[in-house]
Amino acid sequence: MEISVVRGDITTLAVDAIVNAANNAMRGGGGVDGAIHRAAGRSLLAECVRRFPDGLATGAAGWTDAGDLPCRYVIHVVGPNRTIGQTDPDLLASCYREALRVADGIGARTVAFPLVSAGVYGWDVDDAARIAVQTLRGTPTSVHQAQLVAFGERAEAALTGWVRSTAL
């Protein structure tokens, strides 16, 4: 799988699927989750309510159609929230493994990922980038291209560094 880093807005990417860093309730929220819900339109929330009536567990993933987004699918993952004591790195790695499993199930070959849990959920940006890149590199998948989308300069630098160091 080819892994690249792009800086920008994940809601504008024309890939097969984008990954949403959702909360357990699956009803929209702030950060990436809020931006994706706003850009997708009301149909995304309606489908989340229908498909995930009880939400999703931390580390789990599920998919919906993409509504008004330029991609075909949204793969929702629930990252660990360090600010409430969810500090197990395997929960964060699970988000990426499960997203790839879901992507394989829906036939997505190009997938864009945010840096899960590195915003309001309090995960250290460099550690989150390391876990993301190492997990993507180490997980068997049919996905051909993974784009790691950095919202800011710090995330872009961390992701670029880990992509370069693990490509050797």
Task: For 117-164, write each residue's pLDDT tens digit.
Answer: 999 999 999 999 999 999 999 999 999 999 999 989 999 999 999 999
Say how far apart CA 123 and CA 45 lie, in whole Å.
Answer: 26
Catalytic residue among 33, 65, 88, 127: 33
Q: Is 65 helix (H, G, I), strand (E, B) or coil?
A: strand
CA distances from 165 to 154, 155, 162 (A): 17, 15, 5
Which domains, ranges and CATH numbers included, belong to the chain? 2-166 (3.40.220.10)
Residue 86, pLDDT > 80, answer yes
Concerning whether 9 is annotated as a catalytic residue, the answer is no
- pTM of this prediction? 0.97
